[in-house]
Chains A and B, each alone.
Chain A
Amino acid sequence: MNRRDYLLRKFGLSIVTIFVVVIINFLLFRVLPGDPVRAVVGRNVRISAETQRALREQFGLDKPVFPDQFFDTLGQWAQGNLGVSWSLRRPVSEVLMSKLWNTVLLIGLGQLLSIIFGVILGLLAGWKRKTAIDVGALTFSLIAWAIPTFWLGIILLAAGSTWFGLPTGGIVSPINVGKPLYTIIPDVARHLILPTFTLTILYLGEYMLIMRSSILEVLSEDYILTAKAKGMSHWQVLWKHALKNAMLPIVTLIALNLGFTVSGAIYIETVFSYDGLGKLFQTALTKQDYPLLQGAFLLLAVSVIIANMAADVLYAVLDPRVKES
């Protein structure tokens, strides 16, 4: 396929997907029972009929849902105005931004570690197929897949806090808030150990499996046989010929995994009371804070879609098969 066509198609699909997410978000908010004014001022605030009418006009709620309200809302979202959280009484976008980097830190660390270990273990497992390493790696990934994320978190939380004295939740100990960076950084690192470890175990299995099957496929190609025939050692063959080609599916997997990664963050941040977007999502869910829920969903979905597109672009650059014809 022509590289430009490929990228255009992926780009178009991303736009359509973002549009679908926006429509879902808009519709779900509209079907909620009760007056939409309540959605703006909160459910338990007393307001007079007069104020209510004024608010309806101010927010354009007296206009038809489509097209006026729809495009109005779209415009607001595009400007980053996601409404006001019911439970926190602060603008949703402000709340989201304050938690975003904590989640990026957690997910980034977990992904990085699991990719490094996943690629190494997958390579070993595929190369030494049907040996103890391979069987061990397969068993591990199978069990890691079958374990519910949050339950693994609970177990590691119990074990880590009882036997290793690790903190049970949060990002920084209350006594260290406001202290200089050299006290805060080691403390944050201690808080990150358990959630990062859980995430790494969770993601590792899949990277390992993909790397293993990818390396198996590459190793049965004829050019590997040729390289071996030239007298290269196994390590040389793996390093010079196999690894580069086998890494390609990992790139796509990172993109495909992002949605899964976000799910993991919701569970793990809940278990470890880690102050990020996932925990925020869960709190919004239990408090039925719809503006916050919708804003968080929009942010998570759109970032996953954009990251996915970025991975597609990267794939097109890396894979010589997708090139200018």
Chain B
Amino acid sequence: MNENWTLFKRNLAEFWKTFRKNRLGLLGAFLVITSILVATFAPWLSPYSPSDIIRDEGGHGLTFASPAVHAPLGTDDAGHDVWSQLVHGARISLMVGFMAGFIAMFVGSLFGILAGYFGGAVDNLLMRITDILLVIPDLPLMLILVATIRQLDLKISPLTVLIAVIGLLYWTSTARLIRSQVLTIKERQFVARARAIGAGHGHIIRKHILPQIMPLIVANTVLILSTAILVESGLAFLGLGDPTKPSWGTMLNFAFDRSAVTNGAWWFYLPPGLAIVWVTLGCVLLGNVLEEMLNPRLTAHHLEGDQNMVTVPGKGVE
């Protein structure tokens, strides 16, 4: 145990040494971490509750007040403080995105490992399911699923419905990725040796396969998170969010429906979108850099550099 722990610490230190040199990766990590911090400390960062109505001296609600009138981000059509909504919206957006992302990651990894390791009928079934899910247009499918489930009076919150539907539809790419990785690992010598000395399937998967694919799962999860957050914002924009717990997408739905554009209330429709871009960009940068570090690919091609094949003295061979 102790030995493993030192090994883990050394690996982590090694990883950090490479990672901190990658500026894009650092930027991604910064974007993701700041948004998580904002979501965590939302009540301390916002002067009002998202449902408070801001009033002027005469007691009238301040509607569509610009940031110049009401700092820092003005008010919406009903006189709510936009900054407070934005900060509290981070909680909803991130929660739905993260939970849906983790479900997708879990289901995808599970199916990927099972299909890759056992092959045969399991593999066939999995591949056909992913083939089918890949072709059916996802947004219309999600829209009719969510719309129908919400009609059923199941007494589950709209956010739970969103989490379940997104999580259970976006696992296919993860499953394919993990499957192909497991396929190559299970042919390696150490797995054959483990099997030769009588190790069971469970043991091999836990002790030999899982540690090998874990980094890939982590990188892929970060990428899936960005998709989940984007999809949530889209569904919420189309009116499938929880109006009592507005996420960034729901805010944009309100802003658009209540003509923030024609009123020129940019402080209402710009910040939620920027926040979504902030998080998704962060996840994509971080995920791509992690994936790149774990999957080194080709680094050069033949038309790079000099136009001539003949090397000029002193310039060195390509």
Residues of A within 8 A of B (CB): 13-14, 16-17, 20-21, 24-25, 28, 31-33, 126-127, 129-130, 142-143, 145-151, 154-155, 157-158, 161-162, 168, 216-217, 219-221, 224-225, 228-229, 233-234, 237-238, 256, 258-260, 262-263, 266-267, 270-271, 281-282, 285-286, 288, 293-294, 296-297, 300-301, 304-305, 308
Contacts and interface: CB of A to CB of B under 8 A. Distances in A.
B281 interface: yes
Interface string B120-137: 000000001001101111
B261 A281 contact: no
Given A129-B301, A148-B234, A154-B261, 4 more contacts: A16-B132, A130-B304, A219-B303, A228-B302
Given A142-B285, A154-B261, A266-B139, A224 B302 contact: yes
A17 B307 contact: no
12 contacts: A17-B132, A148-B230, A148-B252, A154-B252, A155-B269, A219-B303, A220-B301, A263-B138, A270-B238, A281-B143, A285-B238, A297-B144
Contacts of B249: 148
Contacts of A217: 298
Contacts of A266: 139-140, 143, 238
Contacts of B3: none
A95 to B, nearest CB: 16
Contacts of A294: 144
Given A21-B136, A142-B285, A259-B138, A129 B304 contact: yes
B284 A142 contact: yes
Contact of B266 (A13, A33, A158): A158
A32 B301 contact: no
Contact of A288 (B140, B147, B256, B277): B147
A155 B276 CA distance: 14
B284 A267 contact: no
Given A28-B145, A150-B252, A297-B140, A282 B238 contact: yes
A129 B277 CA distance: 26
Contacts of B270: 155
Nearest to B132: A17
Nearest to B131: A13
A150 B138 contact: no
Which are the 5 A-B pairs with shortest beta-carbon distances?
A263-B139, A151-B273, A259-B137, A219-B301, A146-B281
B233 A20 contact: no
A228 B309 contact: yes
Given A16-B132, A28-B145, A294-B144, A33 B152 contact: yes
Contact of A216 (B256, B261, B272, B301): B301
- Binding site of A, secondary structure by majority: helix, strand, loop or mixed? helix
A80 B150 CA distance: 28
A125 B60 CA distance: 56
Nearest to B150: A288
Contacts of A233: 307
A31 B132 contact: no
B128 A16 contact: yes
A142 B289 CA distance: 13
B140 A234 contact: no
Contacts of A147: 273, 276-277
Given A224-B302, A237-B303, A148 B273 contact: yes
- Binding site of B, secondary structure by majority: helix, strand, loop or mixed? helix
Contact of B239 (A24, A263, A286): A286
Interface string B283-315: 011000000000000101111100101000000
A288 B132 CA distance: 27
B139 A262 contact: yes
A157 B234 CA distance: 17
Among A148, A161, A225, A263, max chain B CB count under 10 A is at A148
Nearest to B249: A148
Contacts of B300: 220
B226 A146 contact: yes
B269 to A, nearest CB: 6
Contacts of B144: 25, 28, 293-294, 297
A236 to B, nearest CB: 11
Contacts of A260: 137-138
A146 B301 contact: no
A127 B252 contact: no
Nearest to B252: A151
Nearest to B277: A146
Among B145, B240, B261, max chain A CB count under 10 A is at B261
A13 B303 contact: no
Given A146-B277, A151-B273, A256 B134 contact: yes
A150 to B, nearest CB: 5
A216 to B, nearest CB: 6
B222 to A, nearest CB: 13
B273 A154 contact: yes
B141 interface: yes
Interface string B268-282: 011011001100110
